[in-house]
Every structure is written in C-alpha cells, then in structure tokens.
Amino acid sequence: MGVNIIEAGSAITSEGEREAIRAVAREGLNAEICSYCRVRKVDIDFALECEVDSIHLVVPVSDLHIQTKLKKDRETVTRMAVDTTQYAKDHGLIVELSGEDASRADMDFLKSVYSAGIEAGAERIAFCDTVGLLVPEKTFEVFKELSTLGRPVSVHCHNDFGLATANTLAALRGGASQAHVTINGIGERAGNTSLEEVVMGLETIYGYNTGINLKELYTTSRFVSRATGIMVAPNKAIVGGNAFTHEAGIHVHGLLADTSTYEPIKPEDVGRERKIVLGKHAGRSSVELALKELGLDVSDEQLDEIVARIKELGDKGKHVTDADLEAIAETVLNISHEAKVKLEEFTVVSGNTVTPTASIKLKVNGNEVVEAGVGDGPVDAAIAALRKGIAGVADIRLDEYHVDSITGGTDALVEVRVKLSREGKVITARGARTDIIMASVEAVLEGINRLIK
C-alpha cells in the first residue's frame, strides 16, 4: 500500500507477539518496522530481539497518569524518558518519543519532556490524544506550537468522541508530519484514527498526494476484518458496506446523469464497486435500471406495479434482493420459470466431537443427485454439499453470506442473504426460516436457480 512505518506490535507482550513482529521485520517490506515500548529498558531489549528498526517509546505526561498510574513525579518521568531514549539510541534504534495522555498534560511540561528527549537523540516526537478529548480547533494550535521544536511531530488520536479523523487532519494542517492510523480504525475502546479516512480526506478534500496505493484500501480492509474477526460497520466511511450503495430514487436519478452528484469519490478509486439496492426508497429510475440489467423490458404501467410491490416489501422491513426483483417482475409480466435445481431432502450431523457433515438429495434438470459435504459448521457443510450437487451443471461461487435475526428468542425467525456469482454474473438472494440451516440452503438454492435459468 505504500505505508511508511508499521508498528507491528509490542515486543514485551508475549513470545507469540515477538514471533509476529519478527515475521513482519523479515518480510523485507519497504517500510520502517517499529515496536511499541514503555519507558523501561526491558521493553527495549525485547524489541531488539525482534529486529525492528525503531521504537515508539511512550511516556505518560499528564499529572493524572504520572501520579495515579505511575505513582511518580514529573522529574522522575522526565529522567525515565531520557534514560530509555539514550539506551535505545546506544543500541542503534530510531526513537519516536511519545507523550501519553498529552491532551490532558501541562503544555510547558510536555514541551520540556520532548526537548529533553530530543537532546537524548529522539528523531521524532508524538502527541497522543489517549482518550479522544481533542477538538480540531485546539489540535491545529497545539501542533503549530509543537512544530517549532525542531523534530518531526506525529499525531496519535483515539475516536472516543468520533473526532479522530478530524483531529488528525487538523494536526497535519497545523504542522504534524506523521499520522498514527489503523486499518478500519480498530483500536482500544472506540478505536484509533482510520487510515482509509485520513488518506482519502487528504487526497480528495485537501488535494495532497499521500503516496498510498488507494486501490488496495478496500481489499486490505476486508482482509483485516476477516483476520481479526472485527466487523466493519455498514455505514463506515470509505470501506463500509453501504459507502457506495444507493437506494433513494432521487440519488439514483442523479447518478445516472453524473455519478459525482451523490458520490464524492469514485468507488473504483479505492478498489470498490457501486451498488444500487432496492427498497422502500427506490424510485422508478433505479428499478428500471435494475430491470434492464436483468434483460427485462417493461411498460410504464408494469413498471409502476413492480415499484409498488418493491415498496410494499420495503415497508415490511425486508431487504429486496435481485431474486426478489426477478420474482416480482416475472409475476407482473406473467413469465414462468421452472426451477432447474430442486431440493428433495438433506441431513446435517454436527457436534463437538464430529466434523460437521451434510448429505443432500437434489433433482437437477430432472435427474436425481446425491452428494455430501463437510464444513466448519452445519451451515458451511450444507452449502458445500449443495454446491457439489450442482457442480456438473455450473460452477457457482458464494461471495457473501449475511444472517440477521428478525425476531427474538431461540426460535427466532432469521433472514439469510447471499451473493452468488457465475461467469461474471452476480445475484443476491434471500431465505427466511426459523431454522438457520434451512434458510441458508433456501437462499443459495434460490440464487443458483436464478443464475442457471
């Protein structure tokens, strides 16, 4: 992606963490590899074992942290910062000296700590808004003042009040030369500043070339989400599922004329695609566009009827999928399609001591097919068996799988939505049952029949 510095972990944490940091350091990346360290020499010793280039040396600077957490005084903390900086420099490390809880620190004391660290050899200094209390106006002024210290200044913001990106941009405008960011904004509590938001803010709003490979933003976001198990909110800027999704009729009408009417950046710039979804806010333009993509021509009267039925579904709180649209359109147009793949029966075996296994019997183009599949769970096994059952007819790929509980309780009605693709054609389908396995099979089966009709 072109990121300049990667803080790969905190070497003091555990042997597993150290193994991970060493693995990153040995990748030969075109980036400075860094380890987080407290103002303790043992932290630096462990960082040295990990073959890193630099350390992010964090010293508490607010009286609250100094007195309550460390139970020390300002003079002692300053001495600790100087001693550890010198120790790291003596061992060949680049040092970024960071003030923890700097936004609640006395500014004169903070500057004195930074100055002492610079004299000891620190190449960079960092200001940490540890609990997200900064506001952009103050941030700009703070970094104007810190930029006079004669060393590059970094900004490290937390998102407790949703201001991390705004504060980071303000800091960069004020004189900061480096921003601490994370993919998807993950981090303690409400998270840290989001890399993708800062990068696109700089590129689009301020017209600054960050050197980041923008087309890697979305794929990296998805990878990090899968690897960490931390889901990205649908309304998350840039990388959220809804960031380039349009439903409202007035928006779609504008997009058809010029995409910039309702998109500040092009989705393809960040490795994404535009989505038009249908629901209660759908207008005639979006429905007509969707029908054309399905190869269906309708009269004005038929279009009005299809729109009315879509809005009826939307008013009931239901997601309108491509399969729903096709089914509605076929009903209005009196088109009949017999399903090529029919479910006869299926059985799933699962438990804590057995591999989840599913067996399935299908009618595929009138021929009986029996298959079995295994998976990470009963749903995965059932879908694996279903895909094997239709392998001789078509190669169908499951791209996305979502499940929502519509009602409460252990007998809740669940809605499963899937995105399937075949030879470049993509379709979404839905299944709703109290049995999540049956709902999943129903959704995938519906999508398969739409793809191979």
Identify which has the larger pLDDT, 135 or 431.
Answer: 135
226 falls within a domain: no
Domain residues for 441? 341-452
The answer to whether the CB of 52 falls within 8 A of the CB of 34 is yes
User: How many separate domains does the chain show?
Assistant: 3
Average pLDDT, stretch 148-153? 96
Check whether residue 9 and residue 122 sit in a common domain. yes
Q: Can you give the pLDDT at residue 297?
A: 86
pLDDT at 141: 97
- Specify the pLDDT at position 251: 55
Averaged pLDDT, 350-371: 92
* Lowest-confidence region among 45-49, 108-112, 284-288: 284-288
Encode pLDDT of 6-18 as tens digits.
999 999 999 999 9
Residues 97-123: tens digit of each pLDDT:
999 999 999 999 999 999 999 999 999
Residue that wins the pLDDT comparison between 239 and 410: 239
Instruction: Verify that 356 and 444 share a domain, yes or no.
Output: yes
Q: Mark whether 350 and 437 lie in a shared domain.
A: yes
CATH code of the domain in which 389 resides = 3.30.160.270
Domain assignment of residue 92, yes or no:
yes
Q: What is the mean pLDDT of residues 422-444?
A: 86
Across residues 417-428, what is the average pLDDT? Answer: 85
Q: What is the mean pLDDT of the chain?
A: 90
Domain boundary among 180, 207, 230: 180
Cα dihedral 22→28→29→35 (10° resolution): 20
Q: What is the CATH number of the domain that holds 291?
A: 1.10.238
Closest CA to 390 of 331, 451, 301, 333: 451
Last residue of a domain, one of 125, 159, 180: 180
Q: Are residues 45 and 95 in the same domain?
A: yes
Mean of the pLDDT values across residues 136-149? 97
Q: How confident is the model at residue 383 (pLDDT cuts 50, 70, 90)?
A: very high
pTM for the full predicted model: 0.76
Nearest Cα to Cα of residue 173 among 148, 202, 149: 202
Indicate the pLDDT class of residue 403, thresholds 50, 70 and 90: confident
Percentage of the chain beyond pLDDT 90 is 62
Pairing of strands 414-422, 397-405: antiparallel
**pLDDT exceeds 80 at position 412:** no
* Section 374-380 average pLDDT: 92
pLDDT for residue 256: 58
Q: CA torsion 289→294→295→301, rounded to 10°?
A: -60
pLDDT (tens digit per residue) in 243-279: 877 665 555 556 656 777 767 888 888 988 777 677 7
Contact 118, 151 (CB under 8 A): yes
Per-residue three-class SS string for the chain: CCCCEEEEECCCCCHHHHHHHHHHHCCCCCCEEEEEEECCHHHHHHHHHCCCCEEEEEEECCHHHHHHHHCCCHHHHHHHHHHHHHHHHHCCCEEEEEEECHHHCCHHHHHHHHHHHHHCCCCEEEEEECCCCCCHHHHHHHHHHHHHHCCCEEEEEECCCCCHHHHHHHHHHHCCCEEECEHHHCCCCCCECEHHHHHHHHHHHCCCCCCCCHHHHHHHHHHHHHHHCCCCCCCCCCCCCCCCEECCHHHHHHHHHCHHHCCCCCHHHHCCCCEECECCCCCHHHHHHHHHHCCCCCCHHHHHHHHHHHHHHHHCCCCECHHHHHHHHHHHHCCCCCCCEEEEEEEEEEECCEEEEEEEEEEECCEEEEEEEECCCHHHHHHHHHHHHCCCCCCCEEEEEEEEECCCCCCCCEEEEEEEEECCEEEEEEEEECCHHHHHHHHHHHHHHHHHC
d(CA 71, CA 290): 65
CB atoms within 10 A of CB 169: 24
Rg from Cα positions in the chain: 28
Same domain for 253 and 396? no
**Confidence band (pLDDT; 50, 70, 90) for 234?**
confident
Q: In whole angstroms, give the CA distance from residue 74 to residue 59.
A: 11
Total count of residues recorded for the chain: 453
302 and 411 share a domain? Answer: no
Question: How many C-beta atoms lie closer than 10 Å to residue 62's C-beta?
Answer: 22
What are the beta bridge partners of residue 364?
341, 367
Q: What is the pLDDT of residue 335?
A: 67
**Same domain, yes or no: 47 and 107:** yes
Do 327 and 347 lie in a common domain? Answer: no
pLDDT single digits (tens) 296-344: 888 999 999 888 888 887 787 776 777 778 778 877 887 666 788 999 9
Cα 369 to Cα 118: distance, rounded to the nearest angstrom: 74
Task: Identify the pLDDT of residue 15.
Answer: 96
> Where does residue 38 rank: exposed (0-12), middle (13-18), buried (19+ CB within 10 A)?
middle
